[in-house]
Amino acid sequence: MSTLPGVGTRVLAAKVLDAVVHRGRSLKAELGKVLPQLPDPRDRALLEAMCFGALRQRARYDAALQLWLQKPLGDKDGELRALLLTGFAQIDAMGLPPHAALSVTVEAARALGRPHQAGMVNALLRRAQREGFPTADPAAAWPAWRRKKINLEWGDHAAAIFEASAHAAPLWLRVNRLQGTRDEYDARLHDAAIACAADDALPDALRIDSPVAVTALPGFAEGAASVQDGSAQQVADALSPAPGARVLDACAAPGGKAAHLLERDPALRLLALDVDPRRLNRVRETLARTGGVAEFRAVDAADVQAWWDGEPFDAVLLDAPCTATGIVRRQPDVLLHRTPEDLTSLIALQSRLLDSVWRVVRPGGVLVYATCSILKDENEFQVEAFLKRTPDARAEPLHAGYGHAAGPGRQRLPGERGMDGFFYARMLKLG
């Protein structure tokens, strides 16, 4: 491989994107394989930025390749096509100086065993530098079946949803109340020359609009702050358990919402469940860093007999598995992987989880159902069906600060107030 600095990083990025775009692999899983190969955190950040930038702007970059290539790339050209996407991302989404992107990416083509196509890579990148990219509807990156649902369900909001999902999200922080106030942490960020903004509707949140490595955040390793989108932080507000309440987090991984609840009230008696033991370990690690204390069980929350001791819960959080259509800007590869059959399976799983965990709520207790989806089948229609078949459940209203009215709940759409798309519904168990 070339000794030119940065070539190896581009090669790895091309291999990751090839696996994700052409072979249906998970971006998170592929990054997990290759990032440890890069000892320098700057290289790791560069690789991630190339992959995310290429996926978020895939509609525009695909349009450029279709327009500029006299002959489409073949089935065996997956790595080369992926490399071109990384090159486009460097020039466009990342705004790297051309000299830092062109020569290294061209050399990466040679390192991938394609010296005969290095000239084509050079020509395409230079054209992108000169002309910019053709206009493309960001909706084109969405599968037709999902695009149709968004247009039908959200009408005038659909274009904004597609546009917001094609751009990087700001970095939202949740300040740990156990270690200080938001104003105090704001001052620590200021001292570290990191600009941030507060949102009056989110008492623990600070938003950073320019990319910052978490390692640069003061006190991060000690749990002074955590990365959590503003929409996800509102879940704690929606649940609002009484002091010292018994709380169930039914699908707890990776643990941010459980940590938030415990930062607000360390006296909560919280049980965190997750069906995946490895993901449950992430919850343990999260709470160890932030100072929260909870019980943990690696079980299927829907299999109530396997884990419930018979003592009811005052408050239950069901942050249900979903299509993640509200967080495409954070997980752009979900557009490549989910199918209509996946949606059908997820709706059935959500329904089973709702029916099961409702059994453990005490009379007078509450359940908050939340997803990071914007599809009505997973959200308002799911909750409406649950209420119809559950006589002792009553929806409690949430105010407009949670987003648009959506049947018995509220829906935040991607990009609104800088947040992710999220659905919330709060239900009271009648006594």
Residues catalogued as catalytic: 372
DSSP 173: E
The two structure tokens encoding residue 414? 């991607």
CA angle 19, 25, 29 (to 5 degrees): 105
Beta strand pairing call for 269-273 and 246-249? parallel
Distances in whole angstroms, Cα of residue 378 to Cα of each of 38, 369, 383: 39, 10, 8
Residue 63: φ, ψ to 5°: -65, -40
The two structure tokens encoding residue 28? 């998170």
Q: Are 191 and 218 in contact (CB under 8 A)?
A: yes
Distance CA 315, CA 254 (A): 19
The two structure tokens encoding residue 96? 């790297």
The residues, ordered by sequence, that sit 6+ positions from 415 with a Cβ below 8 Å of its Cβ are 160, 161, 163, 164, 165, 167, 329
